[in-house]
Amino acid sequence: MSNGTDYDVIVAGSGLAGSLAATTAARAGKNVLLLDRNPEPEVGKKTTWGWVCGDAVAGSHINFVQNRLKVKFGQPELDRRVDGVYAVSPDLKTRFLFDGLGYTLDRPEFEAKLLQLAKQAGATYMNDFEVTGPIIQENRVVGIRGKEGKKEEKEYRAKVVIDALGISTVIRRNLPENIFVERKIDIDDIESTGRYIYEFEKDHDDLNYYDPDNALIHLNNELAPGGYGWVFPKSGNKVNIGLGVQKKSLEIRNKKMGRTDNLQSLIDNYVKWNPVLKNTRVWNKNNNGKGNWSVPVRRQMESLVFDGYMGAGDSMVMPNPISAGGIGPALISGVLAGENAARAIDNNDTSVAGLWQYNLDFNEAYGNRTAGMEIFRIYLQSLNNDILNYGMRTFLTTKEASDITLGLVPELSLASKFRMVLKGARNISAFSNLVYVMGKMKTLNAVYASYPKSPKEFPEFKKTVVSNIEEAKEKFKPNPV
């Protein structure tokens, strides 16, 4: 066991966020240790279930990495190009296109490529290392402890520890009590999700169920209470199909419908519900054909830094609150975390204040609209299928819906529609609630536009964010059926 500082930077977890953080910190000349519990051929595997994910990512997020790191991705890791993502209403009569060009990834291949970048940049990679928690000294993070080869107890110390352990992180959860980074999150902000990768035969053409050129999202609170189902095309005759649910919404839905469904039975029903995918066989390359895991769907941690500590990706609950897309923010935050760790070390200040610029950089690159989007998610979870059908048909244009998924707030046409609806349409309260939501999104976007420039102003900022979110949670309760 060591007591001095072994490394400049320790990156815990070599998933998407971790491998990129190690790459950028090492490229900036820092002495980096990248640790993960997986053996190298399984780099980026999240759990014993595999690399559980829908694997859809926006082209803009891939471009962010390509441009910043001057690298080029291609086949096989970018498995299939898609034109965009369609969100389809429960009655399949309305669809909104959003997100633009993107890809479905071959995740094991993509993760292997990112690890190569980290190694080429000079990071020391140690696999089969199970992190068990942070080392805390004088109320700051000074290293990590864990089991090498999963047996021998070891400690490593560094000027900065970057937590990229994903949603089950044992570092963030074991930080000292502090105002900057919360140790726990609300279970209602987590989606239980699962998916299959299948080979299939196409029974007939129906773009509502399978679209070779687009990712499909099925909003349907009976099939996927408090979440959605997805059918994402992969290369050849393969598809990634799965769904996510909010636990509370599932319980309410089961009780009201007299059912006892769980995540797995819902996934299996969803596959059967799809008339286009026939003769499905699990495509089990890398033993990755079937798996369940969790996704956080709230705003990222209000601060991503603490003394000696930074977080990136799912450990900081970064996935998009509406789409649950976490690949993009994991890639972006990984790049920025490594760069900022290196800068703070050069400045000889790895305290919260010294690491603060990372908060500002992530806020600007991605995070400044997620709190508003969380409000929209809370609202969506309060709508049953009837209102979803009606609302998607009447409340919003495709452009407005697409804006909302980017956290933008459509204003004027909504106001005019409100007047129209007041003239006698149904579901006035759902619509006026949507107008309330737009107002809250605007408020939170403005709050994040003035993200605190230093830790001193942070407590007031956090109080404002939390009180707005709590107000929305109080107003909109899950109500799936």
State the Cα–Cα distance between residues 296 and 294, nearest whole angstrom.
7
State the Cα–Cα distance between residues 421 and 229, nearest whole angstrom.
30
> Does 293 participate in binding ligand FAD (rule CB under 6 A)?
yes
Q: Are strands 305-306 and 309-311 parallel, antiparallel or unpaired?
A: antiparallel
| Between 168 and 427, CB nearer to ligand FAD | 168
Of 325, 338, 354, 372, which lies in the binding site for ligand FAD, with binding defined by CB under 6 A?
325
Instruction: Report, in Å, the least distance between residue 144 CB and ligand FAD.
Output: 9
Single out the segment in contact with ligand FAD by CB under 6 A; choices: 13-21, 22-30, 441-449, 452-460: 13-21
Q: Copy the structure tokens of residue 60.
A: 């803009």
| Closest residue by Cα to residue 113 from 23, 48, 205 | 23
Could you say which residues in the range 330-389 bind ligand FAD, by CB under 6 A? 330
Q: Copy the structure tokens of residue 158.
A: 């560094």
Which residues pair with residue 158 across a beta bridge?
A: 7
> Does 131 participate in binding ligand FAD (rule CB under 6 A)?
yes
Burial of 314 by CB count in 10 Å (0-12 exposed, 13-18 middle, 19+ buried)? Answer: buried
Could you say which residues in the range 32-71 bind ligand FAD, by CB under 6 A? 36-38, 44-46, 52-57
Site string for ligand FAD, 150-189 (x = CB under 6 A): --------------xxx-x-x-------------------
> Does 14 participate in binding ligand FAD (rule CB under 6 A)?
yes
Instruction: Report, in Å, the least distance between residue 325 CB and ligand FAD.
Output: 3
User: How many residues comprise the chain?
Assistant: 481
Provide long-range contacts, Cβ within 8 A and 24+ apart, for 355-360: 355/160, 355/305, 355/309, 355/310, 356/305, 356/453, 356/454, 356/455, 358/304, 358/305, 358/310, 359/303, 359/304, 359/305, 359/451, 359/452, 360/451, 360/453
Residues that bind ligand FAD (rule: CB under 6 A) add up to a total of: 40
> Does 15 participate in binding ligand FAD (rule CB under 6 A)?
yes
| Between 36 and 361, CB nearer to ligand FAD | 36
Q: 372 near 409, Cβ under 8 Å?
A: yes
Of 193, 303, 381, 433, which lies in the binding site for ligand FAD, with binding defined by CB under 6 A?
193
Within 13 Å of residue 61, how many CA atoms lie on the same side as its CB?
26
Instruction: Report, in Å, the least distance between residue 304 CB and ligand FAD.
Output: 12
Of 143, 194, 308, 410, which lies in the binding site for ligand FAD, with binding defined by CB under 6 A?
194
State the Cα–Cα distance between residues 394 and 384, nearest whole angstrom.
15
Residue showing the smallest CB distance to ligand FAD in the complex = 326
- Chain centre to alpha carbon of residue 243: 14
> Does 313 participate in binding ligand FAD (rule CB under 6 A)?
yes
Instruction: Report, in Å, the least distance between residue 399 CB and ligand FAD.
Output: 23
Q: 89 near 384, Cβ under 8 Å?
A: no
* Peptide bond between residue 76 and the one before it cis (omega within 30 degrees of 0): yes
Of 30, 119, 195, 234, which lies in the binding site for ligand FAD, with binding defined by CB under 6 A?
195
Q: What is the 3-state secondary structure (H, E, C) of 29-82?
A: CCCEEEECCCCHHHCCCCECCECCCCCEEEHHHHHHHHHHHCCCCCCCCCCEEE
> Does 455 participate in binding ligand FAD (rule CB under 6 A)?
no
Could you say which residues in the range 16-35 bind ligand FAD, by CB under 6 A? 16-18
Site string for ligand FAD, 239-278 (x = CB under 6 A): ---x------------------------------------
> Does 103 participate in binding ligand FAD (rule CB under 6 A)?
no
Binding positions for ligand FAD, rule: CB under 6 A:
13-18, 36-38, 44-46, 52-57, 130-131, 164-166, 168, 170, 193-195, 242, 293, 295, 313-314, 319, 324-328, 330
